[in-house]
């Protein structure tokens, strides 16, 4: 059943998407409601499943990892075998993000690997167990990504963008002690985990946790705190559009980046190397709004788009920037 939100719910969701660790008191001032009312509304959004997760975005290159996106088309599966494959991928310690979809592929997931040999080992393990179900597999290296504010939630044109995220196609490992790794693991599980709760879990003072988080943010290890929404609960549609492009001039590349930054329905884009050159992720109210988007995209970039693939995301099963053990 779809959940109906009013303007305050949408505004609260927007403020949490801008900064998922934003205090309730600060959100209350921005939306013009009492702190307790905002807290109750947030709890309702969580309980109804609208808010699927509070996500901490980490620069995985600082851990020495490169993210690879894997696309899989299945064959000869039934519900039981497909669920077994879904469970295997979701629980894998190197899988950062995982979704099922409709379109040219059935499964998409990000694998964090320290080098191509590790990636090959991970994919060979998957192939050894489920290769007879895999009809096609493609791989891209994720090069440079942006998360954007979900301006469509409050019906405004996009004016700002989060700072660019460098996912780590060029791993640059930073030395992190055991305490920092535990902090990152807890924040990766839930970006709104309170400082006091983190301190109690790892047996240091709240002030020490607060200082360490600020240093991790300043160092670019922690990039942002955002929402993962369950679009099916909201009655929205969730798409990934994969673009194969002609060679771009610098001006054309800037124009594509600006289009993504300013479009209120686009919440993520990524430059890639491999099967596709660029990917756009967006959320729309219905299929007509998506068709309007595709019309804008094709009209604006008919000179650079060589081909495109549309994938409709049915469910995000996992999103964790630190899936490995702390």
Number of domains in the chain: 3
Average pLDDT over residues 4-20: 95
Indicate whether 65 and 146 sit together in one domain. Answer: yes
Domain that holds residue 208: 175-218
What's the pLDDT at 163?
Answer: 63
Mean pLDDT across 6-33: 96
**CB 276, CB 71: distance < 8 Å:** no
Tens-digit pLDDT profile for residues 137-172: 999 999 888 899 999 999 877 667 776 665 555 667
Whether 85 and 144 share a structural domain: yes
Q: Are strands 51-58 and 222-229 parallel, antiparallel or unpaired?
A: antiparallel
pLDDT for res 169 = 58
pLDDT of residue 325: 79
> Does one domain contain both 66 and 146?
yes
Residue 221 has pLDDT above 70, yes or no: yes
pLDDT band, residue 62 (cuts 50/70/90): confident
Tens of pLDDT along 237-255? 999 999 999 999 999 999 9
Examine the domain organization and report whether 30 and 77 are in the same domain: no
The least confident of 52-66, 127-141, 205-219, 306-320 is 52-66
Same domain, 272 and 197: no
Specify if 258 maps to a domain: yes
- DSSP codes of every residue in 170-230: S-------HHHHHHHHHHHH-TT--HHHHHHHHTS-HHHHHHHHHHHHHTTSEEEEEEEE-
Split at pLDDT 50, 70, 90, the class of 324 is: confident
DSSP 201-214: HHTS-HHHHHHHHH
User: What is the pLDDT at residue 289?
Assistant: 97
The answer on 104 and 41 residing in a single domain is: no
Give the CATH number of the domain where residue 19 resides: 1.10.10.10
pLDDT at residue number 180: 95
CA dihedral 174, 175, 177, 179 (to 10 degrees): -10
* Backbone angles phi and psi of 3, in degrees to 5: -95, 130
The answer to which of 105-114, 152-161, 265-274 has the lowest mean pLDDT is: 152-161
Residues 144 and 234 in one domain: yes
Q: Is residue 242 part of a domain?
A: yes
Q: How many CB atoms lie within 10 A of CB 276?
A: 21
**Pairing mode, if any, of strands 278-284 and 237-245?**
antiparallel
- Does the pTM of the predicted model rise above 0.85? yes
* Residue listed under structure tokens 């009655």: 235
My answer on whether 41 and 116 are in the same domain is no
CB 59 within 8 A of CB 216: no
- Residue 96's pLDDT is 96
Q: 297 and 270, same structural domain?
A: yes
The mean predicted confidence, pLDDT, of the chain is 93
Residue 256 has pLDDT above 60, yes or no: yes
Buried-state track 144-163, b at ≥16 Cβ within 10 A, e below 16: ebbbbbbbbbeeeebeeebe
User: pLDDT grade, residue 304 (50/70/90)?
Assistant: very high
CA-to-CA distance for 122 and 116, rounded, in angstroms? 10
**Partners of 268 in the β-ladder:** 147, 281
């Amino acid at each position: 059943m779809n959940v109906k939100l009013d303007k305050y719910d949408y505004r609260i969701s927007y403020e949490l998407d801008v900064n998922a660790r934003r205090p309730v008191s600060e959100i209350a001032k921005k939306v013009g409601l009492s702190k307790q009312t905002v807290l109750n509304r947030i709890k309702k959004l969580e309980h109804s499943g609208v808010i699927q997760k509070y996500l901490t975005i980490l620069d995985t290159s600082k851990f020495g990892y490169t993210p690879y996106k894997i696309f899989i088309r299945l064959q000869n599966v039934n519900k039981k075998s497909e669920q077994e494959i879904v469970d295997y991928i979701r629980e894998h310690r190197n899988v950062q993000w995982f979704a099922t979809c409709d379109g040219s592929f059935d499964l998409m997931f990000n694998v964090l690997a320290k080098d191509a040999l590790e990636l090959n080992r991970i994919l060979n393990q998957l192939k050894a167990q489920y290769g007879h179900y895999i009809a096609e597999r493609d791989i891209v290296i994720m090069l440079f990504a942006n998360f954007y504010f979900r301006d469509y939630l409050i019906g405004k044109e996009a004016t700002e963008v989060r700072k660019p995220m460098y996912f780590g196609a060029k791993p640059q490992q930073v030395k992190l002690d055991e305490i920092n790794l535990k902090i990152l693991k807890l924040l990766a599980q839930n970006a709104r985990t309170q400082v006091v709760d983190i301190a109690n879990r790892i047996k240091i003072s709240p002030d020490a946790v607060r200082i360490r988080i600020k240093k991790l943010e300043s160092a670019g290890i922690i990039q942002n705190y955002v929402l993962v929404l369950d679009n099916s609960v909201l009655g929205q549609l969730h798409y990934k559009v994969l673009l194969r492009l002609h060679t771009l001039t610098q001006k054309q590349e800037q124009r594509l980046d600006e289009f993504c930054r300013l479009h209120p329905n686009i919440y993520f884009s990524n430059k890639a190397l491999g099967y596709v050159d660029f990917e756009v992720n967006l959320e729309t109210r219905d299929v007509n709004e998506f068709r309007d988007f595709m019309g804008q995209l094709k009209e604006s970039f008919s000179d650079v788009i060589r081909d495109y693939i549309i994938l409709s995301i049915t469910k995000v099963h996992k999103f964790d920037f630190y899936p490995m053990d702390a």
